[in-house]
Amino acid sequence: MKNNLWISILFIMVFFLPLSVSAMDYQHTLQAKGLSFSWSLDGDKIHVSLTAETTGWVAIGFDPEKAMQGANIIIGAVKKGKFKIEDHYGDRKRGHSNDEKLGGTNDVLNPAGIEEDGVTTISFSFPLKSDDKYDKPIQTDGIMKIMLAHGAGKDSFRNRHPYRTIYEVNLSTGENKKLK
Ligand code: HEM
């Protein structure tokens, strides 16, 4: 009896858990060119899924000020079946650094990622208001500027983006408008 239970648990882990990164239903989706951003608001958190036609990284940046400066960036990639998702901050107009290297904290929750047929999907949750000064509060009333970008080929987070865009998004209603 006990053995059967363990076999069932193993079956669920092997066959169903990898689906969690793509199968979760999200409340809203924003479709950009070759990159989609889906999200759900859930109490004091946002659940996010990013899918891009790339074998490189995919990223989102909340509330940039000048180019990439000031944005709360979450960036992730999948290499040889292993995902890496990091909490970054736009500490310059043309770049970003890991919050932990800047003296802040990693506030990414439930990270997951898969890469299949040249498409990378990452998912994670994030507090709407973390205690880290390198994370801006994520505004759920009114509009917020959101950057989306992906790399190409290599998974290195230092590689620049062949595609990047900026939208104004109302995270509560899903309404959005492309700015750049
Ligand atoms: C990997 C390291 C990165 C480098 C070296 C880099 C470099 C640059 C450079 C040189 C520009 C100005 C030229 C242009 O407009 O394309 C730029 C703009 C931009 N980047 Fe990045 N970037 C990086 C990562 C990211 C990430 C992770 C995001 C988003 C989540 C992002 C979003 C943007 C956006 C939206 C712009 C346009 C800003 C504007 O015109 O206001 N970048 N980046």
Asked if residue 6 belongs to a domain, the reply is no
List pocket residues of ligand 1, CB cut-off 6 Å: 59-61, 67-68, 73, 75, 94-96, 147, 149, 157-161, 164, 166, 180
Asked if residue 169 belongs to a domain, the reply is yes
Asked if residue 132 belongs to a domain, the reply is yes
Asked if residue 142 belongs to a domain, the reply is yes
| Distant-in-sequence contacts of 14-21, Cβ < 8 A, 24+ apart | 18/114, 20/112, 20/123, 21/49, 21/112, 21/113, 21/114, 21/121, 21/122, 21/123
Choice from 89, 147, 161 to test ligand 1 binding pocket (greatest atom count within 8 A of CB): 161
Residue 20 in tokens: 């969690």
Average pLDDT estimate for 91-119: 97
pLDDT in tens, 61-95: 999 999 999 999 999 999 999 999 999 999 999 99
Q: In this structure, are residues 132 and 107 in contact, taking their beta carbons and an 8 Å threshold?
A: yes
Candidates 85, 152, 147; CA nearest to 119 is 152
Asked if residue 51 belongs to a domain, the reply is yes
- Residue of minimum CA distance from atom 41 in ligand 1: 67
**Ligand 1 center to residue 161 CA distance, Å?**
7
Distances (CA, A) of 76 to 33, 40, 41, 86: 18, 19, 20, 6
pLDDT in tens, 146-170: 999 999 988 899 999 999 999 999 9
Asked if residue 14 belongs to a domain, the reply is no
In which domain, by residue range, is 122 found?
A: 26-178
Choice from 89, 164, 168, 169 to test ligand 1 binding pocket (greatest atom count within 8 A of CB): 164
Asked if residue 34 belongs to a domain, the reply is yes
**Into how many domains does the chain fold?**
1
pTM: 0.89
- The domain that holds 58 is classified in CATH as 2.60.40.1210
Asked if residue 21 belongs to a domain, the reply is no
Per DSSP, helices labelled H in the chain are 2-16, 20-23, 99-102
SS3 72: strand
pLDDT in tens, 41-57: 999 999 999 999 999 99
- Residue of minimum CA distance from atom 12 in ligand 1: 94
